Structure formats: structure tokens, C-alpha cells
Amino acid sequence: MSDASEAAHGQRGDAGAIGRGFAASDGAVGDGAAPVLQTTGLSRAFTQGGETIHVLRGVDLAIAPGEIVALLGPSGSGKSTLLQAVGLLEGGFEGSIRIAGTEAAKLDAAGRTDVRRDRLGFVYQFHHLLPDFDAMENVVLPQLIHGAERAAAEDRATTLLTALGVGHRLRHRPAQLSGGEQQRVAVARALANRPALVLADEPTGNLDEHTADRVLGEFLRLVREEGSAALVATHNERLAAKMDRVVRLHEGVLT
């Protein structure tokens, strides 16, 4: 995937071909009862300056289709590390990650890119929108990369951006949008290709409390309407309580 298309998806990671259909699977895809995400014994350690930190120490997590799960934990507890692992953005972990039935360990770089593009949506604390493109194009581009026709992609972008309350800002570039508006565009982009699972890392962390509440409320409503599942890392207990389930990272495992 080119830098531009990675950025269009709001993701980073290893390279792979654009426009190839997602085919790799070893089982549960299409089975509505199967988890969209299942990690088993997921572990990750970092060695720095001779010291090894065991950040994840056997994380077992299953998320059902359409389920919205809050991932809580203090700073440094490993929330971002967990999201990067399940987003197939980082290697170096042990254990199993299955996304819609596909075992990540069995995928090569191109296969991981396909899963990210076809199954996952990403929202970060900072929007990572393409600065030279307006709101509409930021939501259209990932759909074009995914193989959509431009007219259909523009219709969907307009629908999503309007549902998020930024339908009057379609032709504004990111720098011409407020922080809350930028995050709403990032949410629309994450949902554009109807991902099975949205991974959100402090999606409202850079917004004031009032705006964070509104954007998170709109994010949750839209994710529910779209039928996607979500794993949302946050420090905020109050925001976490609005989700279907709360899991907590403590000393490398979920409690």
C-alpha cells in the first residue's frame, strides 16, 4: 500500500497490494455467532537498554459482532500496544489473534494489509487526516482504494459525515475544521468501508469534556447503527460506562 493510501485509511504498517480482494480465512468468517476478534494468550515484551518490559502477559479477549468494548487502564498499561497488535500494525507478539476467524499469524504482509483494509477501521487520538484533501475526499479515498465507484463513495461519505453533524463542512480541509469536527471526519473515514471491527485509541482524548462527550456519543450511535464492533481504549471511566462492556488492563492481563 502506498503512503497515500495508508494515510487515507488512517493507518500505518507494512506494505501490500491495493485492490486485492480479501480471501484468506481459515474458518469462522460469515458465521454470525463467531467473535470478530479473539485473542488468546497474547503477549508482548519490549527490550530496551538491556531491560525487558513484559507489557502484555497473556491477554484473552473475545468481542462479538456489533459489541462495543471499552479498554481501560492507566497510562503505560499497554492499551496502545494491544490495539496495535490486534490492528496488525505491529509484529513481535506471542499468542493468537483471530480477526473474523482469520489467524493473524498465518498471514503474510499482504494478507495483513487486506485484513486491515477489509475488516478493520481505525480512529486515533489525533485524526491523521490527509491535510491536502477536504473532509469529503478523506472519507471517499479509502472507499476508492477498496474498489468502490466514486459516486457511491461520495454518497456514503455524505451520509456518514451528515450523520456525524459535519455535513455542512464537506469541502473544508482538516486545518479549516475544529478539533471535534476533525475527529468526526476521522470517525466517518474509519466506518467508510463498513469494517467488522473499529479500533479506537483515545478517540476523543484531545477534545474538551463537552466536545468529547458529544463526539463519543455520535461515534457510539453510528457504530451501533452500522453494526460494527469496536474496541475503544480510554482513560475515561465515565465514557467507558457508555459502552456495552468494560475490560481493564492490569499488569499485562485483562481483568
Ligand X SMILES: Nc1ncnc2c1ncn2[C@@H]1O[C@H](COP(=O)(O)OP(=O)(O)OP(=O)(O)O)[C@@H](O)[C@H]1O
Among 19, 46, 54, 162, the residue binding ligand X under the rule CB under 6 A is: 46
Q: How far is CA 22 from the centre of its chain?
A: 18
Among 75, 151, 241, 255, the residue binding ligand X under the rule CB under 6 A is: 75
For residue 249, the minimal CB distance to ligand X (Å) is 7
For residue 111, the minimal CB distance to ligand X (Å) is 23
Among 73, 95, 195, 203, the residue binding ligand X under the rule CB under 6 A is: 73
Q: What is the DSSP letter of 31?
A: -
For residue 202, the minimal CB distance to ligand X (Å) is 7
Q: What is the DSSP letter of 169?
A: G
Q: Which three cell numbers stand for residue 133?
A: 484533501
Q: Is 252 in the site for ligand X (CB under 6 A)?
A: no
Name the one range near ligand X by CB under 6 A: 1-9, 70-78, 147-155, 208-216.
70-78
Q: Is 79 in the site for ligand X (CB under 6 A)?
A: yes
Q: How far is CA 114 from the centre of its chain?
A: 14
Name the one range near ligand X by CB under 6 A: 48-56, 189-197, 206-214, 223-231.
48-56
Q: Is 78 in the site for ligand X (CB under 6 A)?
A: yes
Q: Is 76 in the site for ligand X (CB under 6 A)?
A: yes
Q: Beginning with the edge strand found earlier in the chain, give each strand of the sheet holding 102-103 in spatial order.
A: 51-63, 37-48, 93-99, 102-103
Q: Please report which helix (H) or strand (E) contains residue 153, including its range.
A: helix 150-163
Residue among 91 and 167 whose Cβ is closer to ligand X? 91
What SS3 class is residue 213?
helix
Nearest to 94 by CA among 42, 57, 136, 54: 42
Among 80, 102, 138, 182, the residue binding ligand X under the rule CB under 6 A is: 80
Q: How far apart are CA 65 and CA 230, in angstroms?
A: 9
Q: Is 193 in the site for ligand X (CB under 6 A)?
A: no
For residue 32, the minimal CB distance to ligand X (Å) is 31
Name the one range near ligand X by CB under 6 A: 33-41, 76-84, 104-112, 210-218.
76-84
Q: How far is CA 214 from the centre of its chain?
A: 19
Q: How far apart are CA 34 and CA 42, in angstroms?
A: 19
Q: How far apart are CA 63 and CA 229, in angstroms?
A: 7
Name the one range near ligand X by CB under 6 A: 4-12, 26-34, 72-80, 101-109.
72-80
Q: Which three cell numbers stand for residue 208?
A: 474538551
Q: Is 81 in the site for ligand X (CB under 6 A)?
A: yes
Residue ranges that bind ligand X, judged by CB under 6 A: 46, 48, 53, 55, 73, 75-81
